[in-house]
Structure 1
Amino acid sequence: MTPKHLGKVLLEKWRIIALCIALAMALAVLDLVVTTPVYKSTATVVAGVRAPETIGPQSVAEQLSSDYLLTQEDILKSDRVARQVVTDTGLANAPGVIQQYGWEPTDGALPDFIASKLRNGLLVDSSVTNSRVMEISFLSGNPQFAAAMANAFASAFIDVNVQLQADPARRTVASYTRQLDALSGKLHEMQAQLVAKEGTLDIVAGKGDNDPDSARLNALSAQLAAAQAQSAAASAHAGAGALPDTMASGVVQGLQTEIARLEAQRSQMSATAGPNNPDYRQLVAQIAGLRGQLSSQEALIRKSAAAAAAQAQAMQSGLNGAVTAQRGRVTKVRAAQSEVSVMQQDIANLQASYDQIAQRRAQLQVLDNTGQTNLSLLSPATPSDTPVLPRRLLTLALALMTGVVAGILLALTIEFFDRRIRFSSEIESWLGIPDLGAIRISPPRPMRLPRMVTGLLPNTRAQ
């Protein structure tokens, strides 16, 4: 079928096409009259960048990723947000809600059924490039209900985000609480064991060189060193005949001076008077008495030095025994302190762990109670006066196009099954008979009025 033939066919069957167009337009008008208008209300939520110290595992880099808003959109479309909307609005307890949504007991729980129905009217738009604003729209035949549901979904979305961020912290707080309870009991048990151990080992306060036993050992060691020096000095004096003490003695020096003086007199008298002189003999006797006194005094000094040396040695021996005994006690105490120090170190480590967990739990409790989130309501939804469905002009345009296409297809279908020859070109193409010509029928001549009538009419010439 040539395009010329197709055009002729469509022109011949214009009544069928017109009938299809009229039928399609009538159906479109009927649909516009019957269809309930649908209103759309939109609330906008902005997803700002949240500080890292707030609740939740997301970092700033994760929130700036390309899939962050897609994840938030999936959360918004989830059953949890829809159930939160049902809970917040109390739709499950509203009168007539069962008849409105057509709920049956076989459909499951009423709140879940209503939530699934509400999700059908939810529209989310976050496809704007380089924008962190999400548009939350709701479709309903009641403009007030559409605005209320859009705002309810926005509020529930923010609340669920707070819950999603707070739930990990809350679970961590519970875990930390259990750990702290276990650590507290273990810490008290170990402290009791430490006190009992210190009592058993007779350990007093102080560690290392600061404990009383070590201080007493240091004092005894100092005394021993002094006694050893004193004993050495006394032994040296006694071994040398106590010569330093003898020379330092005033009595000895006086006797020696007196003897020297009398010796000088004796020498002089021996030269003048002779050895048989009574005065000379008396002087010699006096000198002998003085020498006896000097010898006695020197012997006394040597005896005193020997006694001092013996006393110093005895003191040194006593201090040696005391130092040895005290050193043994210090060694024993330090060995016991080593056992105790291990327990003290374990207690210190356990206390450090307890303090860290307690500090972290306190931080998480504060963050949990603040209820922070990076989502904020930018603008609430308001009732719309203009319905978004049905779209009258679009519906009529589609009906017109549908009618035209349906009419053309119907006309071509009828022509396909109707094999009658209507055009001269079909004779040659279908039957192979040459077309020798066409007999044209002249159009009917116009009716002429009589001359006497036409003469009476103004501005009229005879045909």
Structure 2
Amino acid sequence: MNLHQFFLLLRARRKLILSTLLATILLALGWSLVQSKTYTATTSVLLNYKGVDPLTGLTMPGQLLPGYMATQIDIISSKNVALRVVDRLRLATNPTVIAQFQDATEGRGSVRDWLADLLLRKLDIKPSRESSVVEISFKGADPSFAAAVANAFAEEYQNASVRLKTDPMKKASAYFNEQTRQLRDNVETAQARLSKYQQEKGIVSLDNNRVDVELARLNDLSSQLVAAQAMALEATSRERMAGSGSAHSPDVTNNPLIQNLRVALSAAEAKLAESASRYGRNHPSWQAANAEVAKMRADLNAALATVSRSVGGNAQVLRQREEELRAALAAQKTRVLELNRTRDELGVLLKDLDSAQRAFDAASQRFSQTRIEAQSEQSDIAVLNPAVAPSEPSSPRVLLNTLVAVLLGTVLGVGAALLLELLSRPVRSSADVQELLGIPVLGTIAWQTARPRGGLRALMAPRRLLRLN
């Protein structure tokens, strides 16, 4: 079939094609008008899969896996998140919803599960190809309800992601807490055995060169005692000078506070003398200056007394330190003379204590880390664009349905015409005769005078004038 024959076919079957097209359009329009309006609310969430862990400061490797986005979509569309959305919006306690559940399921099952399945059927999740943004859409008859459900899914998805990270850490934290308690008991037991052994044997130092250490300590105590005696003697001399007269004591004369007070007192006395010569003793300015001089003298005397007491206290401390060093030196001499201890049992106890302490430290560090991770409420998911109540319905789309109906009706009409043409092949042109009979056409006869035609009809009309080939 050539193009001319196809045009002749369309012209001959135009009523069938137009009828099919019109019927398809009417059916699409009727179906669009009968359908109830549906509103779609969309919430955009950002998955920060290149985020930094707040504890370690490293990029979280689990979020760099190829299946991370698919996993997040499965979490959003999970039954767990849907049930929490139902609880968040308190849909299971609505009397109207309960009545609909009774009519739909005759009381079988749970209203929460029924609502969760119903919400998931109307939920649509679309991830972006070139970014980490996921769009959560929900379809419903009420635009406000659709926006509320979409936002609830986004918020519960955030909470679910936090729970999925914190719940394993809580279990690990409880495990390490129990292990820490047991290891602490082991450390305390090892420490108690070591302390008991040290107490029984009178061991002070825990190294193997105890005798050398004790001798060195004895020498050190002796040196400290000599130095303490010299310091105590010097402090006693300063105490006597400070007690007999403050003017000759270097501790008093070199004290910055006393020097400042003396300078201030001299300035105040000069001011007092100037006031006396200018105003007299009955003038308020002289009286104020006199009161200031008295106050400065009282402060200076108090500072002198404080410095004297400080010097005396320092001397008393140094004498007490001398006595303590004498006692420590005597005790050290006794301890060095009584050194007769074993080392093998002490080494075993030290190794047991060290092993228990290392295990306890490692468990404590891990317990602290898991406890912080379990208490972390930070999510790597953020709501980019919250859903708002849509003003226009998303379906039915009358214009789109009409355009689809035009295309479909045209295809069906042309297909029906071609089918009828194949079932009953008429002769509309000389080419049809030649194709059916397989013989050349010698000419054509015009049975009636052809009316003048123009345009496409003139091209499509068969040749009826006598024509010889």
Aligned to 1:341: 347
What aligned pairs does 1:20-419 form with structure 2 within 5 A after superposition? 20-48=20-48, 49-54=50-55, 59-60=59-60, 63=63, 67-98=67-98, 100=100, 103-104=104-105, 108-129=109-130, 131-198=131-198, 202-207=201-206, 208-210=208-210, 330=339, 333-335=341-343, 338-419=344-425
- 1:11 Cα offset (Å): 0.6
**Which residue type is aligned with residue 407 of structure 1?**
G
Structure 1 contact 52–60 (Cα < 8 Å) conserved: yes
- Give the deviation of 1:122 after TM superposition: 2.0
Show CA shifts across 1:44-75 (max 9, x none): 222334332349x9834654566544433332
Q: What SS class does the counterpart of residue 118 from structure 1 fall into?
A: helix
Instruction: Tell me the SS of whatever aligns to 2:134.
Output: strand
Secondary structure of 2:342 counterpart: helix
Question: Would the alpha carbon gap of residues 195 and 54 (structure 1) be closer, same or farther in structure 2, given more than 3 Å must change?
Answer: closer
CA 1:396–1:99 in 2, change beyond 3 Å: closer, same or farther?
A: farther
CA distance 1:105–1:187, change in 2 (3 Å): farther
Query: In structure 2, how many angstroms separate the alpha carbons of the residues matched to 1:334 and 1:381?
Result: 79
Kindly provide the amino acid, as one letter, of the partner of residue 45 in structure 1.
Answer: V
AA in 1 matched with 2:186: K
Q: Given that residues 46 and 375 in structure 1 are in contact (C-alpha distance below 8 angstroms), is that contact kept between their aligned partners in structure 2?
A: yes
Q: How big is each residue's C-alpha offset from its partner over 1:199-254, in whole Å with a ceiling of 9 and x where there is no partner?
A: 6x5344334555799769x99xxxxxxxxxxxxxxxxxxxxxxxxxxxxxxxxxxx
Q: Structure 1 residue 90: deviation in Å?
A: 2.5
The farther-off stretch of 21-30 and 185-194 is: 185-194
Q: Judge which range, 394-403 or 120-129, deviates more.
A: 120-129
Structure number with greater Rg is 1
Amino acid at match of 1:438: I
**Distance (Å, rounded) in 2 between the aligned partners of 1:95 and 1:429:** 75
Provide the rounded CA distance (Å) in 2 between the counterparts of 1:46 and 1:195.
59
Counterpart secondary structure, 1:44? strand
TM-score where L is the length of structure 2? 0.62
Aligned partner letter, 1:50: G
Q: Following TM superposition, by how much is the alpha carbon of 1:190 offset from its aligned partner in structure 2, in angstroms? A: 3.0
Letter in 2 for 1:186: N
Residues 41 and 147, structure 1, Cα contact 8 Å, conserved in 2: yes
Distance in structure 1 (CA, Å) of the matches to 2:55 and 2:34: 53
Q: Percent identity of the aligned residues?
A: 27
Shift of 1:18: 0.9
- Give me the whole-angstrom Cα distance separating, in 1, the residues matched to 2:30 and 2:100: 25
Amino acid at match of 1:151: N
Contact 2:190 2:356 in 1 (8 A): no
How many Å apart are 1:96 and its aligned residue?
2.8
Contact 2:8 / 2:428 at 8 angstroms: preserved in 1?
A: no
The one-letter code of the counterpart of 1:202 is K
Q: Distance in 2 between matches of 1:58 and 1:384?
A: 41
Local SS of the residue matching 1:437: coil
Kindly state the Cα deviation for residue 157 of structure 1 after the two structures are TM-superposed. Answer: 0.8
For the structure 1 residues 66 and 202, does the alpha-carbon distance in structure 2 shift closer, same or farther, using more than 3 Å as the test?
Answer: closer
* 1:437 counterpart = 2:444: yes
Query: Using the alignment, how far apart are the partners of 1:58 and 1:154 within structure 2?
Result: 26
Tell me how far 1:186 sits from its aligned partner.
2.6
Shift of 1:193: 3.6
Q: Distance in 2 between matches of 1:40 and 1:79?
A: 21
Is the CA contact 2:148–2:387 (under 8 Å) kept in the aligned structure 1?
yes
Secondary structure of 1:390's aligned partner: coil
Aligned with 1:187: secondary structure?
Answer: helix
Count residues with an aligned counterpart: 331
Equivalent pair of 1:85/1:152 in contact (CA under 8 Å): yes
- Structure 1 residues 12-60: Cα deviation after superposition (integer angstroms, max 9, x where no partner): 11111111011101110111111112211112222334332349x9834
Q: Answer yes or no: is the 8 Å Cα contact 1:50–1:373 preserved in 2.
A: no
Residues 185 and 103 of structure 1: is their aligned pair in 2 closer, same or farther, counting only changes over 3 Å? Answer: farther
Relative distance call for 1:209 and 1:410 in structure 2 (3 A) is: closer
Q: 1:432 to 1:377 in 2, by over 3 A?
A: closer
Per the alignment, do residues 134 and 58 of structure 1 end up closer, same or farther by CA in structure 2, a change over 3 Å counting? Answer: farther
User: Could you tell me whether the CA contact under 8 Å between 2:173 and 2:374 is conserved in 1?
Assistant: no
CA distance in 2, matches of 1:17, 1:378: 51
Write the letter of the residue equivalent to 2:51. Answer: R
* Cα distance in 1 for residues equivalent to 2:413 and 2:27: 15
TM-score where L is the length of structure 1: 0.63
Change (3 A) 1:26 1:60: same
Residue aligned with 1:40, SS:
strand
Query: Which digits, 9 at most, give the CA deviation of each residue in 1:406-452, with x for residues without a partner?
Result: 111111112222244444433332234645431331379xxxxxxxx
1:115 aligned partner, one-letter code = A
Check 1:6–1:350 CA distance in 2 against 1; reply closer, same or farther (3 A cut).
same
Contact 2:43 / 2:150 at 8 angstroms: preserved in 1? yes
